[in-house]
């Protein structure tokens, strides 16, 4: 880590040596981490390159949603993209950097009179994270609007642009989960619409979220992927697990598809609860449900 610290100091890139993951994740869980805050694409790629060159483990995150860090912390570098967040509209396209929050991207689209991204309004994540996992809601997915993605290849130091087809999108998955490339930005292809119509849809979807989801508690978002032909949250509710808790982690009483941090939840609490839910569903339904939240090790 000393060589990384030397690099960061030399290039004026901010960092913190023991920032708790509970301070920068939406789950509010996790121990101390070495966190880095690049302010540009060159600082981001340079930091990743330094980690690779010196054999330092790293993970790149945006808004800290959909992730769970260990109670003992993370031994590598956590590279935060929150300051690499430019967004602009041009014609029927939105150009957005990886760290841009989805609500910022959606508002930019609305301001430009562009429709197609409304489904993402209210998803608590960054543009990069949303592309990485092909985030979706209310019948829409990132694959529906992504035209291309620019990413950094750590193994070669190359920056290249991936077409939509090369992104390998499938349900809550993209090629970037497998190929190790670091998403830097994306171009979203939208369509013209009346701003009043766009706003009405955004307002409707955010209203549904507030009504149905436990937004008043820390969580990583939806905990499990949808099982083909089934609603996973409904199966969990039918199994009588609403409100079931392990330590400070609880199956939301408002929406069984969410595990929430009721207060003082640990990573171990969440993982134990996830395993219990999966075992119960396996015994009742004869199927295996898959966790959507990424455990950072």
Catalytic-role residue among 43, 118, 141, 292 = 292
Residue 203 within a domain: no
At residue 64, the 3 state secondary structure works out as: coil
Q: How many CA atoms lie within 13 A of 128 on its CB side?
A: 28
> Where residue 149 sits, what CATH number does that domain have?
3.30.465.10
Residue 210 within a domain: no
Tens of pLDDT along 198-222?
999 999 999 999 999 999 999 999 9
292 is an active site residue: yes
Residue 205 within a domain: no
Could you list the residue range(s) of the whole structural domain that residue 226 is in? Answer: 215-295
126 is an active site residue: no
Is 226 found in the same domain as 187?
A: no
User: In the prediction, which pLDDT does 70 show?
Assistant: 98
Which of 61, 80, 99 is the C-terminal boundary of a domain?
A: 80
Helix boundaries (H) for the chain: 2-11, 21-24, 41-53, 102-111, 127-132, 176-179, 195-212, 232-238, 267-285
The closest alpha carbon to 49, from 128, 150, 155, 151, belongs to 155
Structure tokens at 70: 């260990």
User: In the prediction, which pLDDT does 66 show?
Assistant: 95
Structure tokens at 198: 């766009």
User: In the prediction, which pLDDT does 36 show?
Assistant: 98
Is 57 found in the same domain as 8?
A: yes
Residue 204 within a domain: no
Is 193 found in the same domain as 92?
A: yes
User: In the prediction, which pLDDT does 202 show?
Assistant: 96
Give the chain's largest Cα–Cα span. Answer: 58
> Where residue 38 sits, what CATH number does that domain have?
3.30.43.10
Spatial separation of the C-alpha atoms in residues 27 and 182, rounded to whole Å: 23
Tens of pLDDT along 155-201?
999 999 999 999 999 999 999 999 999 999 999 999 999 999 999 99
Domain count, the chain: 3
User: In the prediction, which pLDDT does 180 show?
Assistant: 94
Residue 75 within a domain: yes
Is 237 found in the same domain as 171?
A: no
Residue pair 15/5 in contact by the 8 Å Cβ criterion: yes
Residue 20 within a domain: yes
Catalytic-role residue among 185, 222, 237, 294 = 222
Question: Can you list the residues of the chain whose pLDDT is less than 70?
Answer: none
User: In the prediction, which pLDDT does 8 show?
Assistant: 98
Residue pair 140/119 in contact by the 8 Å Cβ criterion: yes
Which residue, chain included where needed, has tokens 């949250």? 233
The closest alpha carbon to 184, from 110, 114, 132, belongs to 132
Which of 65, 80, 95 is the C-terminal boundary of a domain?
A: 80
90 is an active site residue: no
* Burial of 48 from C-beta contacts in 10 A (0-12 / 13-18 / 19+): buried
User: In the prediction, which pLDDT does 2 show?
Assistant: 95
Catalytic-role residue among 172, 185, 219, 252 = 172
Strand partners, 97: 185
User: In the prediction, which pLDDT does 42 show?
Assistant: 97
User: In the prediction, which pLDDT does 40 show?
Assistant: 97
Is 286 found in the same domain as 236?
A: yes
CA distances from 230 to 172, 241, 274 (A): 15, 17, 18
Is 230 found in the same domain as 178?
A: no
Q: What is the pTM (predicted TM-score) of this model?
A: 0.94
């Amino acid at each position: 880590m000393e060589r990384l610290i030397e690099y960061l100091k030399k290039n004026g890139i901010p960092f913190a040596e023991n920032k708790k993951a509970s301070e920068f994740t939406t789950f509010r869980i996790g121990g101390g981490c070495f966190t880095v805050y690049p302010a540009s694409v060159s600082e981001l790629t340079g930091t990743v390159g330094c980690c690779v060159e010196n054999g330092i483990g790293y993970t790149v995150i945006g808004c800290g949603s959909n992730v769970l860090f260990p109670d003992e912390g993370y031994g590598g570098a956590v590279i935060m993209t929150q300051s690499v967040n430019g967004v602009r509209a041009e014609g029927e396209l939105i150009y957005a950097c990886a760290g841009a929050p989805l609500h910022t991207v959606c508002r930019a689209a609305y301001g430009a009179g562009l429709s197609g991204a409304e489904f993402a309004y209210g998803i608590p994540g960054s543009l990069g994270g949303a592309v990485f996992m092909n985030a979706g809601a209310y019948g829409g997915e990132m694959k529906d609007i992504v035209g291309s993605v620019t990413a950094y290849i750590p193994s070669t130091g190359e920056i290249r642009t991936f077409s939509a087809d090369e992104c390998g999108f499938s349900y809550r998955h993209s090629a970037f989960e497998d190929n190790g490339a670091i998403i830097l930005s994306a171009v979203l292809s939208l369509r013209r619409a009346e701003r009043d119509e766009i706003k009405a849809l955004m307002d409707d979807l955010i209203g549904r979220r507030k009504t149905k989801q436990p937004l008043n508690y820390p969580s990583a978002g939806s905990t499990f992927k949808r099982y083909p032909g089934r609603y996973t949250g409904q199966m969990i509710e039918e199994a009588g697990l609403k409100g079931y808790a392990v330590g400070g982690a609880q199956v939301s009483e408002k929406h069984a598809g969410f595990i929430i941090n009721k207060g003082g939840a640990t990573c171990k609490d969440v993982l134990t609860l996830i395993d219990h839910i999966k075992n119960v569903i396996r015994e009742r339904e004869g199927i295996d449900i898959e966790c959507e939240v990424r455990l950072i090790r």
